[in-house]
Amino acid sequence: MYYRSQIDGVARIEPKLFGEELKQAISLQLKADYEGKPNPELGMVIAIVAVDEIGEGVIIPGDGAAYYRSKFTAIHYLPEINELVEGDIKDIAKFGAFVDFGPFEGMVHVSQAMDDFVSFSKSGALQGKQSNRILKVGDKVRARVIAVSFRDPKGPKIGLTMRQPYLGKQEWIDDLVKGEAKAAKKAEKEEKAEKTEKKKEKK
């Protein structure tokens, strides 16, 4: 989920930025430190939009840089358990499919790809045995987040499922919606016919 949050942090201003106006230097440093980098607490920082407060600076002997405690506002995306996400299949392997969504990549294990026995085809796609449904690179899909791990800060692991109703390839969802609409119309028609028949019986 996307958030706009005020964050307490420390900006380490390198000597090469000493010639900049302080707020600008802190903004540049925060962007370099946070933007586009996974963070266990924030997820992925998309943008530093403002430096709100700047504390007193400290220079540590032997370091050469200046440290400023700062409050800043950031736009960030933090994946959450049970969140619905939409994206494109980036790659497929024997064990599952990789989905690009927002700033992250998630993995759909082969057992979570669809409610069917799934095999890896010679064409590099995942195929359901009973349904003949096929997942391939480039397909647009909807999935649910079932696991999030930031143990490896450089490569967070996000597990996804597409086995629940209204999840999976966009075409599957469209077919399900059309089928339900058709069934609802049929049920409505049968209900009207039943009411008409009852009226005739009363007469």
Same structural domain, 71 and 90: no
**End position of a domain, from candidates 55, 77, 99:** 77
Tell me what percent of the residues of the chain surpass a pLDDT of 70.
97
Q: What is the pTM of this model?
A: 0.78
Across 60-195, where does the E strand assignment appear? 66-77, 84-93, 96-101, 104-109, 118-120, 126-128, 134-135, 140-149, 157-161, 168-169
Residue whose entry in the numeric block shows the structure tokens 């405690």: 69
Q: Are 114 and 120 in contact (CB under 8 A)?
A: no
Residue 150 domain flag: yes
Residues 6 or more apart whose Cβ sits within 8 Å of residue 21: none
pLDDT band at 203 (very low <50, low <70, confident <90, very high): low
Write the DSSP string, 65-76: -EEEEEEEEEEE
* pLDDT (tens digit per residue) in 86-122: 999 999 999 999 999 989 999 999 999 998 999 988 8
Q: Which amino acid is at 14?
A: E
pLDDT for residue 201: 67
Whether residues 130 and 168 share a domain: the answer is yes
The pLDDT tens digits of the residues spanning 57-95 come to 888 888 889 999 999 999 999 999 999 999 999 999 999
pLDDT over 90 at 16, yes or no: no
Grouping H, G, I as helix, E, B as strand and the rest as coil, residue 137 is: coil
Please check whether residue 8 lies inside any domain of the structure. Answer: yes
Do 89 and 171 reside in the same domain of the chain?
Answer: yes
pLDDT-based confidence at 160, cuts 50/70/90? very high
Last residue in a domain, options 77, 105, 135: 77
Q: Is residue 145 part of a domain?
A: yes
Containing structural domain, residue 27: 2-77
CATH number for the domain spanning 18: value is 3.30.1490.120
Asked if 73 and 117 sit in the same domain, the reply is no
Tally of domains within the chain = 2
